[in-house]
Amino acid sequence: MSTDAQHQASGRRRRSPLPYTWQRGYLLASPALLVMLAILVYPLGYSFIMSFFRWDLSGSAPFIGTGNYTDELFGRQFNQALRNQTIFSVVSITIEVVAGMAIAVLVNGKLRGMRLARTLLLVPPMIAPAVVGLNFRWLFNTQYGLVDALLRMFNMPDIPWLTHPAWALVSVIAADVWQNTPLMVLLFLAGLQSLPQEPLEAATVDGATPWQCFWHIVLPLMRPVIMIALMLRIIDTFRTFDVVWLMTQGGPGGATNLLTVYSYLLAFQAVDFGHAAAVSYIALGMSLLVLGLLYGVPWLLAKRRAI
C-alpha cells in the first residue's frame, strides 16, 4: 500500500466515531435486523399472542388462555382438516419422492433426449401455483374437462373429480404431484451426479445387479439428499393453499380443507382471528414435530448404536 493510501485509510479511521468492535458490527447490521423484526418476528409474535384471545372484531378481545386451541383440537371441522392434511402430505410426498427418484435415475442415464427431458422438468415448478390450480380445475371439470373427455373416448364413465369428496382429494394431490415431482427429480439428479463412482464400479465388477447397486449403494449414499427433499416437501405441504383454493376452495363439504384453507376461512370468512391463529400455530407445531421426528429418530438410533 502506498503512503498516500495508508494516510487516507488511517484518516478515514480517525473520522469514525466508533472503534472497529463487535458492537459496531451489530450497530451497522441493526437497520436490517430492525426490518427483519418488523416484518417477520413482530407479526409472528403478534399472531401467537392473538391465538390466546377471542379476536373477532366484536370490539372487546378477552384473554381466553388456550381456549382457541382446545376448541379447535376437539372441533369437527379442524379434525376433518387435519385428516385431509395428513392424507394430502403423506400421499403426495410419497409419490413425489418415489417418482422423483425413479425419474432422476432414468434421466441420469445416457439415453437420447435426456437433455431435453431435464429442461422440460424445469417447467412445472416454474409455473405459479395459482395457474396450476386454475388449469387443473378445468382439466378435471366433468362437462368440459380434458380428463373426462378422454375417459369418454374409451367408453369409460365420467369421474366426478372435483365434486365427490374422495375424488376431490385425489385431484388436488394430482395437481401437487404434477407441480412438485420435477423439483424432486432435479434435487435427486444433482445428488446422483455428485455420488462417488468407485463403490458402484467395484460393485459392478463384483457382479452386483443394477437393482442391488441402487438399493445397497446409491440409496444409502443419497440419504442426506432425500432427507433435505423430505424436509422441503413437508414444510411445503403444510403451506399449500393456492392450488387447493383455486380448485375446490376446500370443498365439497370440507373434503379438501387443508389446515391453511381452514385457517383462511376462519380468518376471512368467519372473521375469527383467534381461532385462525391457533390453527396456524397447530399446523406449525405439527410440521416441526414431523421434522423433529424425521431428523431426531435416526440421530437417536445412531447414538444408541454407537453406545
Where do contacts with other proteins occur on this chain (CB under 8 A)?
54-59, 76-77, 141-143, 158, 160, 162-165, 248-249, 251-255, 257, 265-273
| Residue appearing with cell numbers 375446490 | 248
Shortest separation between residue 50's beta carbon and other proteins, angstroms? 9
Identity of the residue, 26 or 138, whose beta carbon is nearer to other proteins in the bound complex: 138
Identity of the residue, 21 or 143, whose beta carbon is nearer to other proteins in the bound complex: 143
Identity of the residue, 107 or 255, whose beta carbon is nearer to other proteins in the bound complex: 255
Grid coordinates representing 149 are 373427455
Shortest separation between residue 199's beta carbon and other proteins, angstroms? 52
Identity of the residue, 169 or 218, whose beta carbon is nearer to other proteins in the bound complex: 169
**Peptide bond between residue 157 and the one before it cis (omega within 30 degrees of 0):** no
Shortest separation between residue 143's beta carbon and other proteins, angstroms? 6
Chain mean position to CA 44? 19
Shortest separation between residue 270's beta carbon and other proteins, angstroms? 4
Grid coordinates representing 107 are 434421466
* β partners of residue 53: 63
> Among residues 260, 284, 279, which one has the least CA distance to residue 50?
279
Shortest separation between residue 162's beta carbon and other proteins, angstroms? 5
Shortest separation between residue 113's beta carbon and other proteins, angstroms? 38
Identity of the residue, 59 or 65, whose beta carbon is nearer to other proteins in the bound complex: 59
Identity of the residue, 39 or 271, whose beta carbon is nearer to other proteins in the bound complex: 271
Identity of the residue, 108 or 260, whose beta carbon is nearer to other proteins in the bound complex: 260
Shortest separation between residue 226's beta carbon and other proteins, angstroms? 36
